[in-house]
Structure 1
């Protein structure tokens, strides 16, 4: 346990909780109640904007997304504490659902963490850049190139077959954009707070 905590940092308890929630939702078969479905959201079931991120089409889909979540946190664990990571996760999930609803009216259904994971990956890459790590530029350019390729050529057929559904590449694009927006908002808020502290000190 101590080794895992040292690897994944202070976000480890939240990471475990999210993993258990995703597994629990999958085996509970809650798609009818929680999946992102545009018609139900329009009818007032707004929680689906968030909860659809935690559902998956099959075991492969679940395993790939959870593996992605753990790898991303392993890569950027130094930036997160439990409460901060939980807040970022929640905001990215909401932004993901809202972005899909506002900008992709043709997408009638969606489940999975992949869109949010793209946002989390971009957020971490921008954090790397902000502290002077050049690798952050490589990560950011890499994910942008990947998503741009998907928008033009579509997702891998192998992945589509594995998850048993069309890969919602729209969600990946929304994830990248929301990750950038969230990072910009967080940095602006911190700069504003810093300026207030400076003024108080004066």
Structure 2
């Protein structure tokens, strides 16, 4: 697996540091804050830019390598991260149109999560999250997981589900909640 991953990284033009088990600093880089987990990854990629992250994620998908992303506290405010989960398996066993969940054919599910404590960092950190999300979305399937959206409104829900699923959910909402009592978060508006 590691040779295929390294080949894919090379084909993608990936130029940031790649640490493998024979590297002198491998043990230092593979350690994570949670001492319960002791993993020995085939490769540790140390991206220097959003483009490096994109290339690494695509190389992992192309080589069918398991992928874990660690933020390490090197973000704007020190705690933001890009969180990546590998999909497939049971998620992909159900047809995409069978449920409201969108993106069952995706290899990965990602979140750009800006985290900060000081109000003075609001604009900068929110902008980082939106810019990072927009950059990664150019390499993503349409749609998203509605419960992970920080912004609210009909457009966010419509983008998450897509027009066909949204209409199906709106018909269901009209039948079960015509007065829109359950309207928080990513609301599905009942049909008029």
Q: Give the TM-score of the pair, scaled to structure 1.
A: 0.29
Rg (Cα) greater in structure: 2
More helix by share: 1
Bigger fraction of residues in strand:
2
